Amino acid sequence: MICRILLLIILNSCLCAATFVVNVTQSSYQAEENHSITLEWTFTTTPDRSWRYLFILCQLLASDKGIILYQVHDGVEVSESQDEQFSGRVQSDKDVLREGRIRLHVSRLRTEDSGLYLCDVETNDGSGSGSLQLSISVQKNIAAVPGKNVSLPCQIPNKKPDVFVKWTRPDLEPEYVFLFRDDQLDPELQNPSYQNRVDLQDRQMKDGDVSLVLENVTPNDRGTYECRVFQRAANRRKRRSLTFDPIAVIFLDVAPPPENMKGRTEDGSSHQRAGLMAVAGLIITVAVGVVVINKYSSFLKK
């Protein structure tokens, strides 16, 4: 009899564990820097049944550790465990927690908030986990002058090393402006118009800087540039994506030099014509003045 009871308990526990699921309402999110976003997970609940316990741990998985975003211990939120990176920027909807929903509002987003978020959930119904990807992009407008060089800024979130950098212009074919992998430029897929004109501002990528320098800018360079970064996996045989979406979106506007904006041409011919016209006007004015004076003198003599 005791054996049968133990067997029923074990089977019941296995059944609960097998039916307990943690899901995400959206597997990938993208947002802009300084904006806000709502991340949401759902987990299995039993209607009209009170929890004996509830444990939740949501973290941003960094390269060397988990950065705690949100934690619930035995049904009570533990704000003290939240990492300083998210301090004062995360609000939870407590009303929906009993419905099996974890809804977190993250404000004032930063580029270092990009990454993989994992929520581990454990209740008396079972345990499980669910993950989602968040990408934060920086969007800027930059103006450049033809013939000059310009730097398009891009920063790697969390300063992760050993990366593959990709700059693209979606309106071009091929779209690749710059590819950098295995510590060198890969020109194979590069758009011909950018060959020998682009490079990283710092190939060592110190402090996570993967900004692009574009030399001898032309009006044809006007457009939207996207920066993406990938990191080699731990086994170094394949790469895993740090971000599915661009971490920087730059609109480059190529404007003419100030003198051209005032009607001057590149060779300065407009300026020369304006000077000649001014001199001609002065000569005509002097000539008219001389004629008037002579006539007035003749009149007085009479």
**Residue 226 falls within a domain, yes or no?**
yes
Instruction: List pLDDT tens digits, range 52-76.
Output: 689 999 999 976 689 999 999 988 9
**Residue 199 falls within a domain, yes or no?**
yes
**Residue 37 falls within a domain, yes or no?**
yes
* Final residue of a structural domain among 223, 240, 259: 259
Share of the chain above pLDDT 90, in %: 50
The answer on 126 and 154 residing in a single domain is no
The answer on 199 and 251 residing in a single domain is yes
Distances from the Cα of 184 to the Cα of 13, 28, 156, 211, angstroms: 55, 30, 18, 15
The answer on 157 and 219 residing in a single domain is yes
What are the structure tokens assigned to 44, written together?
């299995």
**Residue 113 falls within a domain, yes or no?**
yes
Question: Does the pLDDT at position 24 exceed 60?
Answer: yes
**Residue 3 falls within a domain, yes or no?**
no
Q: What is the pLDDT of residue 259?
A: 61
Q: State how far the Cα of 228 lies from the Cα of 163, in Å rounded to an integer.
A: 10
Q: How many Å is the Cα radius of gyration of the chain?
A: 33
Q: What is the pLDDT of residue 23?
A: 94
The answer on 128 and 174 residing in a single domain is no
**Residue 54 falls within a domain, yes or no?**
yes
Cα 14 to its chain centre, rounded Å, is 44
Bond from prior residue into 256 cis (ω within 30 degrees of 0): no
Q: What's the per-residue H, E or C state across the chain?
A: CHHHHHHHHHHHHHHHHHHCCEEECCCEEEEECCCCEEEEEEECCCCCCCCCCEEEEEEEECCCCEEEEEEEECCEECHHHCCHHHCCCEEECHHHHHHCEEEEEECCCCHHHCEEEEEEEEECCEEEEEEEEEEEEEEEEEEECCCCCEEECCECHHHCCCEEEEEECCCCCCCEEEEEECCEECCCCCCHHHCCCEEECCCCCHHHECCEEECCCCHHHCEEEEEEEEEECCCCCCEEECCCCCCEEEEEEECCCHHHHCCCCCCCHHHHHHHHHHHHHHHHHHHHHHHHHHHHHHHHHC
Average pLDDT score, the chain: 80
The answer on 240 and 171 residing in a single domain is yes
* Final residue of a structural domain among 135, 154, 169: 135
Question: Does the pLDDT at position 215 exceed 90?
Answer: yes
Q: State how far the Cα of 163 lies from the Cα of 297, in Å rounded to an integer.
A: 89
Q: What is the pLDDT of residue 148?
A: 95
Higher pLDDT residue, 254 or 261?
254
Average pLDDT of span 137-156: 93
The answer on 114 and 43 residing in a single domain is yes
Cα three-residue angle 207-208-210, rounded to 5 degrees: 125
HSE (side-chain half, CA atoms, 13 Å) at 131: 9
Question: Does the pLDDT at position 262 exceed 70?
Answer: no
The answer on 173 and 126 residing in a single domain is no
Number of domains in the chain: 2
**279 backbone dihedrals φ, ψ, rounded to 5°:** -65, -45
The answer on 163 and 65 residing in a single domain is no
In this structure, of 73-77, 222-226, 274-278, the range with the lowest mean pLDDT score is 274-278
The answer on 225 and 171 residing in a single domain is yes
The answer on 202 and 98 residing in a single domain is no
**87 backbone dihedrals φ, ψ, rounded to 5°:** -60, 125
* Final residue of a structural domain among 90, 112, 135: 135
218: domain range?
Answer: 145-259
Q: State how far the Cα of 152 lies from the Cα of 169, in Å rounded to an integer.
A: 13
**Residue 5 falls within a domain, yes or no?**
no
Average pLDDT of span 17-22: 76
What is the model's pTM?
0.66
Instruction: List pLDDT tens digits, range 165-204.
Output: 999 999 999 999 999 988 888 998 999 999 999 999 998 8
- Looking at residue 165, which CATH number applies to its domain? 2.60.40.10
CB 301 within 8 A of CB 294: no
Q: What is the pLDDT of residue 162?
A: 63
**Residue 140 falls within a domain, yes or no?**
no
The answer on 72 and 42 residing in a single domain is yes
Q: What is the pLDDT of residue 13?
A: 46
In this structure, of 63-72, 158-167, 240-249, 252-261, the range with the lowest mean pLDDT score is 240-249
Q: State how far the Cα of 156 lies from the Cα of 287, in Å rounded to an integer.
A: 71
Question: Does the pLDDT at position 4 exceed 80?
Answer: no
Q: What is the pLDDT of residue 229?
A: 87
The answer on 162 and 127 residing in a single domain is no
